[in-house]
A and B are shown apart, each in its own frame.
Chain A
Amino acid sequence: MRALLEDVLASLRAPALRYADIRVTTTSEQHVRVRNGEVDTLASTVDRAAGVRVLVGNGWGFAATSDVGEASIRAAARRALEVAAASHIATTETVVLSDVDAYVASWASAYAVDPWSIALDRKLDLLFGATEPMRSDARIHQVSGELFAYRQEKTFASTAGSFIEQTTTEVGAGIEALAIDGGEFQRRTYPNPFGGDHHAGGWEVVEAFDLAGNAPRVRDEALALLAAPKAPAGRFDLVVGSSQLALQVHESCGHPTELDRAMGLEISLAGGSFLQPSMLGQFRYGSELVNIVADATVPGAIGSFAYDDDGVPAQRFHLIEKGMFVGYLTGRDTAPAIGRRSNGTVRAETAARIPIIRMTNINLEPGTTTAEELIASTKRGIFVDTNKSWSIDDLRLNFQFGCEVAYEIENGRLGRMLRNPVYTGTTPEFWRSCDGVGDRASWRIWGLPNCGKGDPMQTMRVAHGAPVARFRGIEMQ
Chain B
Amino acid sequence: MRDERDSYDILERALAFAAATEADACFASTDHNISRFANSSVHQNMSELSAWLKLRVVVDGAVGTASTTSFDDGELARTAELARTAARHSGAVPGFAGLYRGGEALPDVRTFDERTAAIAPAEKARALRQMFDRGREHGVLFAGSYATGASSIVCANTHGVRRYATVTSSDATAIAIRGSDSGYATAVDRGPLDVLALGDEATLKATLCAGRNEALEPGAYDVILEPPATAEVLEWMNMIAFSGQAFEDGSSFFVGNVGKRVLGENFTFADDAVDPGFLPFPFDLEGLPKRRVALIENGVVRTPVVDKLYADRLGLPPTANGWSLGGGEHGTVFHGSIAAGNATREELIRSTELGIWVTRFNYVNGLLEPKSALMTGTTRDGTFLVRGGKVVARLPNLRWTQSMVEAFSSIDGLTRERRRVGAWYNAFGGTIAPVMKVRGWRFGTQS
Seen from chain A, the residues whose Cβ lies within 8 Å of a Cβ on chain B are 33, 38-49, 59-68, 72, 76, 79-80, 82-93, 120-121, 124, 141-142, 178, 180, 183-185, 263-269, 271, 352, 354, 356, 388-395, 397-398, 400, 402, 420, 422, 424, 426, 455-457, 477
B38 interface neighbour in A38, A142, A267, A392, Cβ under 8 Å? A267
Once A89-B122, A354-B46 are accepted as A-B contacts, the answer to whether A45 and B91 lie under 8 Å apart by CB is no
Contact A43 B50 (CB under 8 A): no
Q: How far is the CA of A391 from the CA of B379 in the complex (A)?
A: 12
Seen from chain B, the residues whose Cβ lies within 8 Å of a Cβ on chain A are 32-52, 62-70, 75, 79, 82-83, 85-87, 89-91, 93-94, 120-122, 124-126, 128-129, 132, 143-145, 147, 173, 175, 177, 249-251, 326, 328, 362-371, 376-378, 380, 397, 399, 401, 424-425, 444-447
Contact A185 B370 (CB under 8 A): yes
B367 interface neighbour in A41, A393, A402, Cβ under 8 Å? A402
Min C-beta distance of B87 to chain A, whole Å: 7
Q: A68-B70, A80-B47, A120-B89 are in contact. List 6 more A-B contacts (CB 8 A).
A: A40-B328, A86-B45, A89-B129, A268-B37, A393-B380, A400-B399
Contact A398 B378 (CB under 8 A): yes
Contact B85 A120 (CB under 8 A): yes
Of all chain A residues, which has the CB nearest B255? A180
Contact A60 B122 (CB under 8 A): no
Chain A residues positioned under 8 Å from B67 (CB to CB): 43-46
Min C-beta distance of B200 to chain A, whole Å: 17
The 6 closest A-B pairs by CB, nearest first: A42-B86, A86-B121, A39-B90, A89-B125, A66-B69, A398-B447
A269 interface neighbour in B121, B132, B145, B367, Cβ under 8 Å? B145
Contact A388 B368 (CB under 8 A): yes
Min C-beta distance of A219 to chain B, whole Å: 16
Q: How far is the CA of A61 from the CA of B121 in the complex (A)?
A: 10
Min C-beta distance of B349 to chain A, whole Å: 25
Q: How far is the CA of A76 from the CA of B47 in the complex (A)?
A: 9
Contact A424 B145 (CB under 8 A): no
Of all chain A residues, which has the CB nearest B131? A90
Q: How far is the CA of A183 from the CA of B378 in the complex (A)?
A: 27
Contact B425 A457 (CB under 8 A): yes
Chain A residues positioned under 8 Å from B366 (CB to CB): 389
Q: How far is the CA of A39 from the CA of B32 in the complex (A)?
A: 35
> What are 30 of the A-B contact pairs (CB < 8 Å)?
A38-B90, A39-B90, A41-B65, A42-B86, A44-B79, A46-B79, A49-B50, A62-B45, A64-B49, A65-B48, A66-B69, A80-B47, A84-B45, A85-B122, A86-B35, A124-B89, A141-B249, A180-B250, A185-B369, A268-B175, A352-B48, A391-B363, A391-B399, A392-B363, A394-B397, A400-B401, A420-B369, A455-B424, A456-B424, A457-B425
Contact B249 A178 (CB under 8 A): yes
B125 interface neighbour in A38, A90, A395, Cβ under 8 Å? A90
Contact A389 B143 (CB under 8 A): no
A90 interface neighbour in B42, B62, B250, Cβ under 8 Å? B42
Contact B69 A265 (CB under 8 A): no
Once A33-B328, A400-B399 are accepted as A-B contacts, the answer to whether A82 and B121 lie under 8 Å apart by CB is yes
Once A86-B124, A93-B39, A394-B363 are accepted as A-B contacts, the answer to whether A183 and B250 lie under 8 Å apart by CB is no
Once A62-B47, A89-B126 are accepted as A-B contacts, the answer to whether A83 and B86 lie under 8 Å apart by CB is no
Contact A48 B45 (CB under 8 A): no
Contact B42 A87 (CB under 8 A): yes
Of all chain A residues, which has the CB nearest B66? A44
Chain A residues positioned under 8 Å from B173 (CB to CB): 268-269
Once A42-B86, A90-B42 are accepted as A-B contacts, the answer to whether A424 and B367 lie under 8 Å apart by CB is no
Once A46-B79, A64-B50, A422-B368 are accepted as A-B contacts, the answer to whether A398 and B446 lie under 8 Å apart by CB is yes
Min C-beta distance of A137 to chain B, whole Å: 14
Min C-beta distance of A93 to chain B, whole Å: 4
A43 interface neighbour in B41, B66, B363, Cβ under 8 Å? B66
Q: How far is the CA of A64 from the CA of B49 in the complex (A)?
A: 6
Contact B132 A90 (CB under 8 A): yes
Chain B residues positioned under 8 Å from A124 (CB to CB): 89
Chain A residues positioned under 8 Å from B49 (CB to CB): 63-67, 72, 76
Once A394-B380, A398-B397 are accepted as A-B contacts, the answer to whether A67 and B121 lie under 8 Å apart by CB is no
Contact B250 A178 (CB under 8 A): yes
Contact A92 B125 (CB under 8 A): no
B47 interface neighbour in A68, A83, A263, Cβ under 8 Å? A83
Min C-beta distance of A31 to chain B, whole Å: 9
Q: How far is the CA of A231 from the CA of B293 in the complex (A)?
A: 40
Chain A residues positioned under 8 Å from B132 (CB to CB): 90, 92
Q: How far is the CA of A457 from the CA of B48 in the complex (A)?
A: 14
Min C-beta distance of B165 to chain A, whole Å: 20
Min C-beta distance of A364 to chain B, whole Å: 22
Once A66-B51, A264-B38 are accepted as A-B contacts, the answer to whether A39 and B326 lie under 8 Å apart by CB is no
A183 interface neighbour in B128, B371, B376, Cβ under 8 Å? B371
Q: How far is the CA of A82 from the CA of B124 in the complex (A)?
A: 13
Most central of A38, A63, A83 by chain B CB within 10 Å: A83
